[in-house]
Amino acid sequence: MQPDSEEVRALAAACGRELDQEQAGRLASYLGLLASWNRRMNLVGPADWREVLRTLIPDGWVLADFLEREAPEAGLTLDLGAGAGLPGIPLRMFYHSGRHILVEPRQKRTIFLTYVLGALELPGVAVRRCRAEDLPDDLRRADVVLSKAFMPWREYLEVARPLLAEDGLCLVLSSEKPPEEPPGGWRAGRSVEYEVAGRYRSVWSFTPAICSRKDPL
């Protein structure tokens, strides 16, 4: 069943997020496309769009709020291992700064992402089919690098480091508590903890240790 924007709006409100008409419409379209393609491609675990909204979409709006505070004028964001567009596509419904590149090496998923972006007309978002390590030089000075379940977080930081600008921000989405000490070569930034469908989640941020990033006023 194709989700209705008012249904989506009501369910999002029950999950703690108020949507405007445009956001609800775009999210309804995305959830409908995801459910339809998921029957053929196994993009995500939940089959029902309501379960997707309850369990997978909230990461996007948490990230949007986090980036509005920590990187309100980011010029380039790299979303590694973008998969079915979670959390990147919901994120861009709420956070519009600069360019957002969905980096995904698997062909079927990049076809899906390209189709979705054409349907939703999200501003500043593009798909790049390649491994993170193979991104071209013009995409290796990102203000923000983020990923969800791309690989173990310490390995992910090593992949992300060459892609970041000197004062860039690297975000980790996790179901674990943030580490007490950052790994070598990194400074710990702000983190946020939240619940989705009764389960613990968190976003951690790191900056390169040589960075002189200051807390916003």
Residue 26 located in a structural domain = yes
Tell me the pTM. 0.93
User: Does any domain span residue 18?
Assistant: yes
Specify if 99 maps to a domain: yes
pLDDT in tens, 138-172: 999 999 999 998 899 999 999 999 999 999 999 99
Q: What pLDDT, on the 0 to 100 scale, is given for residue 217?
A: 38
User: Exposed, middle or buried: residue 1 (CB in 10 Å: 0-12, 13-18, 19+)?
Assistant: exposed
Q: Which residue has the tokens 């619940």?
A: 195
Task: Give pLDDT tens digits for 167-203.
Answer: 999 999 999 999 999 999 999 999 999 999 999 999 9
**217 lies in some domain:** no
Q: Is residue 167 part of a domain?
A: yes
Residue 83 lies in a domain: yes
Residues in the chain: 217
- State the sign of the Cα–Cα–Cα–Cα dihedral 128, 98, 176, 17: negative
pLDDT at 214 over 70: no
Task: Report pLDDT for 123.
Answer: 87
**For residue 216, pLDDT beyond 50:** no
* pLDDT, mean of residues 35-40: 93
- Would the pLDDT of 18 be above 50? yes
Residue 123 in any domain: the answer is yes
Q: What is the CATH number of the domain that holds 122?
A: 3.40.50.150
Question: Domain tally for the chain?
Answer: 1
The answer to whether residue 19 sits within a structural domain is yes
What band does 50 get if pLDDT is binned at 50, 70 and 90? very high
CA atoms within 13 A on the CB side of 63: 29
Residue type, position 164, single letter = L
Residue 1: its pLDDT value, please?
A: 67
pLDDT on residue 210: 72
Expressed as residue numbers, the domain containing 196 is 5-208
What does the mean pLDDT of the chain come to? 94
